[in-house]
A and B are shown apart, each in its own frame.
Chain A
Amino acid sequence: MGSPAIEVDAISKKFRLYREKPTSLKARLISSRNRAEDFWALRDVSLEIPEGASLGLIGHNGSGKTTLLKVIAGILRPTEGRVVTRGRIAALLELGAGFHHELTGRENVYLNASFLGLSRRDTDLVYDDIVAFAELEDFMDNQVKFYSSGMLVRLGFAVAVHVDPEILLIDEVLAVGDEAFQARCLERVRQFQRDGRTIVFVTHALDMVARVCDWAVMLDHGHVHAVGPPEDVVRELRYVLLRSDPNFVPEEGTREVEIAGVELVRGRGSNDGSVMPGEDLTIQVDVRANEPADDLDVSFGVWDWRNLLATDGSTAREGVSVGRFAGKRRVRFRLRTVPFAPGKYWITVGLSSQMTGHVYHVQRQRYWFEVREPEAEHQRIVVVPLEVDVEDL
């Protein structure tokens, strides 16, 4: 199949932002033109999405992800540029868009399905599957205004995944429902992928991108900032997010004592940047004392891709004294078995005074390691330290 499923060619999208949008003639006449400000949600974005690809669109809030999706779907008209789509599109910009609260679940299924391009006869064929998927067998003849929000979301997704589009556009809707439901949604998405359909996701759930997509695009203020394998693009987004956080200073300190070097030593001594769950990992910190300090506390923190602290530790907390020294000393934190979920982790290393808390030197999230996904047959719920021995009898 030569032609890409979606061609985005130098798309720009300008919005007029009104301080208060004039929706009446009077307001429009009174307000002067210059009250409206131009805002470029997309600037010269070009992408070619081949048939059968799964693309993750990521970026911070307001980076233009949803706007791009709406332009591809035909809901918004680009200010400049051109979009070509090949194949039937179903856009899930909101679950249950077009649900009407006065109608019953059954009626809404048919209405919603037709918005997603399914004919009445097609809907008849998949109706039972939809109901079963949403687990709402007993509620289909109730008006949806009596549904809980969870039920609505399930029904919306159930309809959405049963339409049979060649191109599926999904905006932030996978992160709904309980875990079992999410797992089924994901299974359904994988089915779409196996069937060779083209999928474009917009999501904030970065781990989802790495798990589901085969490549990713990061938008930043309407520009394409990075394109590539999901892992790399997600990492780039993290860096950009960290940098744009005013509280984030990558490195600081007065340097009476400084970090001379940090090395991550894997359990098997391998150096390819990855650790298997359950392996050991040693964080080796070389410290250089420019002035003698006798209350030195060496600490580290491990952060996951959401920028949440996974674990941390320090010499002081472990009751280990670094001692008074001149020159260099090496501190090793040995993490016996790494029980982390697969993914990338970033390490912060700090040197401070135990007594005053004064920061000598800190390097924030400068180092990283990756926990590999174990082979399918090795997947376990818990990783228990295990000792095996063999003896002659």
Chain B
Amino acid sequence: MRAAPRVVERTSESTKLRVIPRVRELYAYREILANLVRKGLKVKYTASVLGAVWSLLNPLVFLAVFTFVSKVMGSNIPSYPVYLLSGLLAWNLFNVSVTLSTRSVVDNANLVKKVYFPRELLPLSAIGEVLVDFVLQVSVLILFMIVTGYGFHPANLALLPLVVFDLFTFTTGMAFLFAALNVRYRDVQYLVGLGMIVWFWLTPIVYPSHFVQEQAARIGSRIDLFAVYLLNPMADIIEGFHRALYGVVQPRAGTVILVDASLGWLAAVLATAAVASLLLAWLTWRVFFTLSGDFAEEL
């Protein structure tokens, strides 16, 4: 017995995004999403002997090099490899996801013009692809922390779910926006490439986050410069990862590395960022949804 036929009505009106039915529709198309992710991974590692091992080697080499460098040359940040990677891996997820998503619709022009499916799947599959790498690489980092006996801070680890939520919501929001805009203006993909370089340095990844706090306090001003710095959601998110994994604000007496604030304060910042990111993702999803009706003829 056949189920009742699915009735679909399409009109000239660009339909308003209704989140719940749309999420249900996306769920109905999850096979395509899974296949797109699978395709992306297979294509990426095709004709390479080691395949996914390359994803693991990347953080391993980072860890080895920075362990060596900070041993030999010394570093202002104790356990620099853990500090660096706890932020860098999250940044990479954001950076690579947004970069790939931006091109995702244009790169799949052939599909968009010939096959119907919810276009959101294209940027989402780009994120999914990067997520696989992210999981592998974080596992390497955690393994490294266990093996070297770095230790974990259970209270801080409680931040992880929130900060991971922030990271994905914000990444998805940016991905929808740039993917949609890039269809009309290919400038967007170059702009994103350049923007990411600047953004990287606006985010405490390679330098200690306390440094900015310190400088802001030193310069002084009627406006709170450090608060302005924290308006960058990625700064909050990376700081959240630092706090969750690197853990200690002041690893040595006199050396403050992380933002000098209570766990509760940071959680509040991240919660605010979560609300803001959700709002952003909803807005950019609407933009994407509205524009996606015309992707097939814009390409």
Shortest Cβ gap from A126 to chain B (Å): 15
| Residues B7-31 near A (CB distance < 8 A) | 7-12, 14, 31
Shortest Cβ gap from B6 to chain A (Å): 6
- Comparing A67-75, A230-238, A312-320, the segment that makes contact with chain B is A67-75
- Comparing B112-120, B134-142, B158-166, B216-224, the segment that makes contact with chain A is B112-120
Shortest Cβ gap from B288 to chain A (Å): 14
Complex Cα spacing A76 to B12, Å: 10
Question: Is the Cβ of B10 less than 8 Å from the Cβ of A78?
Answer: yes
Q: Does A115 contact B (CB under 8 A)?
A: yes
Q: Does A329 contact B (CB under 8 A)?
A: no
- Comparing B39-47, B62-70, B231-239, the segment that makes contact with chain A is B39-47
Question: Is the Cβ of A89 less than 8 Å from the Cβ of B116?
Answer: yes
A85: nearest chain-B partner, CB-CB: B8
Q: Does A77 contact B (CB under 8 A)?
A: yes
Q: Does A348 contact B (CB under 8 A)?
A: no
Residues A98 and B116 in contact in the complex (CB < 8 Å), given A74-B8, A86-B6, A111-B39? no
Residues A25 and B185 in contact in the complex (CB < 8 Å), given A81-B11, A82-B9, A115-B32? yes
Provide the residues of chain B in CB contact with A28, threshold 8 Å.
184-185
Provide the residues of chain A in CB contact with B185, threshold 8 Å.
23-25, 28
Question: Is the Cβ of A100 less than 8 Å from the Cβ of B43?
Answer: yes
Provide the residues of chain A in CB contact with B113, threshold 8 Å.
75, 93
Complex Cα spacing A82 to B9, Å: 7
Question: Is the Cβ of A86 less than 8 Å from the Cβ of B5?
Answer: yes
Question: Is the Cβ of B39 less than 8 Å from the Cβ of A107?
Answer: yes
B113: nearest chain-A partner, CB-CB: A75
Residues A166 and B8 in contact in the complex (CB < 8 Å), given A24-B186, A76-B297, A107-B42? no
Q: Does A163 contact B (CB under 8 A)?
A: no
Provide the residues of chain B in CB contact with A107, threshold 8 Å.
38-39, 42
Provide the residues of chain B in CB contact with A120, threshold 8 Å.
31, 34
Provide the residues of chain B in CB contact with A357, threshold 8 Å.
none
Question: Is the Cβ of B12 less than 8 Å from the Cβ of A80?
Answer: yes
Complex Cα spacing A15 to B297, Å: 8
Q: Tell which of B5, B32, B111, B112 touches A87, judged by Cβ atoms closer than 8 Å.
A: B5
Shortest Cβ gap from A14 to chain B (Å): 10
Question: Is the Cβ of B10 less than 8 Å from the Cβ of A82?
Answer: yes
Shortest Cβ gap from A40 to chain B (Å): 13
Q: Does A307 contact B (CB under 8 A)?
A: no
Question: Is the Cβ of B5 less than 8 Å from the Cβ of A93?
Answer: no
Complex Cα spacing A97 to B108, Å: 11
Interface Cβ pair total, 8 Å cutoff: 108
Interface-centre pick from B43, B186, B297 (highest chain A CB count, 10 A): B297
Question: Is the Cβ of A76 less than 8 Å from the Cβ of B9?
Answer: no
Complex Cα spacing A71 to B8, Å: 12
Q: Does A205 contact B (CB under 8 A)?
A: no
Question: Is the Cβ of A88 less than 8 Å from the Cβ of B35?
Answer: no
Complex Cα spacing A103 to B43, Å: 7
Q: Can you list, as one digit per residue, whether each of A112-139 has a CB less than 8 Å from chain B (1) or not (0)?
A: 0011100110000000000000000000
Provide the residues of chain A in CB contact with B32, threshold 8 Å.
114-115
Q: Does B60 contact A (CB under 8 A)?
A: no
Q: Does A91 contact B (CB under 8 A)?
A: yes
Complex Cα spacing A194 to B42, Å: 40
Provide the residues of chain A in CB contact with B9, threshold 8 Å.
82-84
Shortest Cβ gap from B244 to chain A (Å): 36
Shortest Cβ gap from B162 to chain A (Å): 34
Provide the residues of chain B in CB contact with A86, threshold 8 Å.
5-8
Q: Tell which of A81, A87, A97, A98 touches B6, judged by Cβ atoms closer than 8 Å.
A: A87
Complex Cα spacing A98 to B121, Å: 14
Complex Cα spacing A25 to B6, Å: 40
Question: Is the Cβ of A77 less than 8 Å from the Cβ of B293?
Answer: yes
Q: Tell which of B11, B35, B46, B293 touches A102, judged by Cβ atoms closer than 8 Å.
A: B46
Q: Can you list, as one digit per residue, whether each of B104-147 has a CB less than 8 Å from chain A (1) or not (0)?
A: 00000011111111000000000000000000000000000000
| Residues A51-73 near B (CB distance < 8 A) | 70-71, 73
Provide the residues of chain B in CB contact with A143, threshold 8 Å.
46
B294: nearest chain-A partner, CB-CB: A77
Provide the residues of chain B in CB contact with A74, threshold 8 Å.
8, 10, 116
Question: Is the Cβ of B35 less than 8 Å from the Cβ of A114?
Answer: yes
The 4 closest A-B pairs by CB, nearest first: A97-B114, A87-B5, A77-B293, A74-B116
**What would 6 A/B residue contacts be, using CB atoms closer than 8 Å?**
A23-B184, A93-B113, A94-B114, A98-B115, A115-B111, A143-B46
